[in-house]
């Protein structure tokens, strides 16, 4: 499959997930720049640190279509509705999708 | 602290009392002393801003040193303290917690003597800032120590 093919497929997947309510409209912002509208897929899980005084927190990932946000950057923010996160580490990236662990 | 409690549990409570002095009002950098537990706990980093310090007193062994009371035993303890943190300050907060715990323990430490028993023999032997899972807005510091005691 060509790069264009992968991008087309991912765009259709995002569109389908938007229709199903599984993807969201979002705003991506770098530093003091202007918010950039985009669509994202948010996945939520939990994770734990510690043995005796365990601290439980979210492990949230956000996937961007690179056609909309070509090069997401660490410390940028992404806002979905009332939720806002800071991009912490890139987990996966291919020609069309960039997935990040976010903090917030 | 009930006198009927075993000495090892009384040691746990003594360490708890010691750590409860860690407040900004007492000259420390943090307020971790406001919530010090001796039973295990689980906190949600999203719902709570002040996470507890948990003390676990666990592994006991006979003291092998010569020249000390042959009944003397040593017991290991772990102090675990977490704090809600952001990407920008997680390590800084961890170092502040570590410094406060070390300071509190040092304030109680007597002149080093392997034969000293009870809380005044408690000393930290190692500490570690646990690797923070990516995306988790919290960080945890773990301090390990040892304390001598004479069984009841």
Query: Looking at chain B, which residue has its C-alpha nearest residue A87?
Result: B135
Q: What is the pLDDT of residue B115?
A: 46
Which of A48, A49, A52, A91 to mutate: most B Cβ within 10 Å? Answer: A52
Using CB atoms, pick whichever of A54, A89, A103 lies closest to residue B137: A103
Is residue B143 within 8 Å of B98, Cβ to Cβ?
Answer: yes
Indicate if the alpha-carbon torsion angle A23, A85, A65, A63 is positive or negative.
negative
Which of A42, A44, A53, A104 to mutate: most B Cβ within 10 Å? Answer: A53
Q: ∠B4-B5-B7 over CA atoms, to 5°?
A: 115
Neighbours of B118 (CB within 10 A): 15
Segment 22-41 of chain A within 8 Å of chain B by CB: none
Using the Cβ of B143 and the Cβ atoms of chain A, whether some distance falls under 8 Å is answered with: no
Q: ∠B122-B118-B109 over CA atoms, to 5°?
A: 40
Report in angstroms the alpha-carbon separations of A82 from A2, A23, A25, B144: 37, 15, 12, 41
DSSP-assigned states of every residue in chain A: --HHHHHHHHHHHHHHHHHHTSSEEEEEE-TTS--EEEEEEEEEEEEEE-SSEEEEEEEEEEEEETTTSSS--TT-EEEETTEEEEEEEEEEE-SSEEEEEEE-
**Cα Rg of chain A, angstroms:** 15
How far, in Å, CA of B70 to CA of A16, rounded?
Answer: 74
Q: What is the pTM of this model?
A: 0.80
Give A59→chain B minimum CA distance, Å.
6
CB contact under 8 A, B132 and A60: no
Using the Cβ of A52 and the Cβ atoms of chain B, whether some distance falls under 8 Å is answered with: yes
Q: Which residues contact A55 (CB under 8 A, 6 or more apart)?
A: A48, A49, B42, B43, B44, B45, B51, B82, B136, B138, B140
Using CB atoms, pick whichever of B52, B56, B135 lies closest to residue A88: B135
Specify the residue for token string 């971790």.
B32
Is residue A86 within 8 Å of A104, Cβ to Cβ?
Answer: yes
Q: What is the pLDDT of residue B59?
A: 84
CB contact under 8 A, A75 and B133: no
Q: What is the pLDDT of residue A2?
A: 55
Q: What is the pLDDT of residue B111?
A: 47
Q: List chain B pLDDT tens, one digit each, 152 residues.
A: 566 888 889 889 999 999 999 999 999 999 999 999 998 988 887 777 778 899 998 888 887 777 777 788 889 999 999 888 887 888 999 999 999 999 999 887 554 444 456 777 888 999 999 998 888 888 999 999 998 888 87
Specify the residue for token string 């990040």.
A100
How far, in Å, CA of B138 to CA of B87, rounded?
Answer: 9
How far, in Å, CA of A72 to CA of B116, rounded?
Answer: 59
Query: Looking at chain B, which residue has its C-alpha nearest residue A51?
Result: B80
Q: Which chain B positions have a beta carbon within 8 Å of A58's beta carbon? A: 45-46, 135-136
Is residue B32 within 8 Å of B55, Cβ to Cβ?
Answer: no
CB contact under 8 A, A47 and B45: no
Q: Which chain A positions have a beta carbon within 8 Å of B135's beta carbon? A: 47, 57-61, 88-89, 101-103
Q: Which chain A positions have a beta carbon within 8 Å of B78's beta carbon? A: 51-52
Per-residue pLDDT at A82 exceeds 80? yes
Residue A63 domain boundaries? 3-103
CATH of the domain at A75: 2.40.10
**pLDDT tens-digit series, residues A18-60:** 888 899 999 999 999 999 999 999 999 999 999 888 888 889 9
The domain total for chain A is 1
How far, in Å, CA of B139 to CA of B34, rounded?
Answer: 18
């Amino acid at each position: 499959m060509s790069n264009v093919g992968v991008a087309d497929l991912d765009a259709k997947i995002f569109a389908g997930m938007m229709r199903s309510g599984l993807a969201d409209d979002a705003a991506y912002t770098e530093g003091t720049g202007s918010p950039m509208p985009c669509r994202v897929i948010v996945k939520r899980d939990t994770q734990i640190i510690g043995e005796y005084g365990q601290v439980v927190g979210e492990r949230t990932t956000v996937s961007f279509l690179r056609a909309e946000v070509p090069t997401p950057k660490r410390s940028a923010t992404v806002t979905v509705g009332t939720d806002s996160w800071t991009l912490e580490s890139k987990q996966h990236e291919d020609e069309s999708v960039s997935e990040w662990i976010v903090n917030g | 602290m009930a006198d009927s409690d075993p000495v090892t549990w009384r040691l746990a409570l003594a360490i708890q009392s010691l750590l409860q002095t860690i407040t900004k009002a007492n000259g420390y950098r943090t307020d971790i002393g406001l919530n010090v537990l001796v039973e295990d706990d689980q906190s949600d980093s999203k719902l709570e801003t002040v996470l507890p310090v948990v003390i676990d007193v666990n592994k006991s062994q006979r003291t092998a040193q010569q020249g000390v009371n042959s009944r003397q035993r040593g017991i290991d303890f772990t102090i675990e303290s977490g704090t809600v943190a952001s990407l920008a300050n997680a390590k800084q907060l961890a170092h502040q917690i570590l410094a406060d715990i070390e300071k509190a323990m040092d304030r109680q430490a007597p002149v080093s003597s392997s034969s000293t028993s009870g809380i005044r023999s408690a000393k930290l032997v190692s500490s570690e800032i646990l690797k923070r899972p990516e995306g988790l807005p919290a960080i945890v510091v773990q301090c390990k120590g040892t304390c001598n005691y004479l069984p009841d």
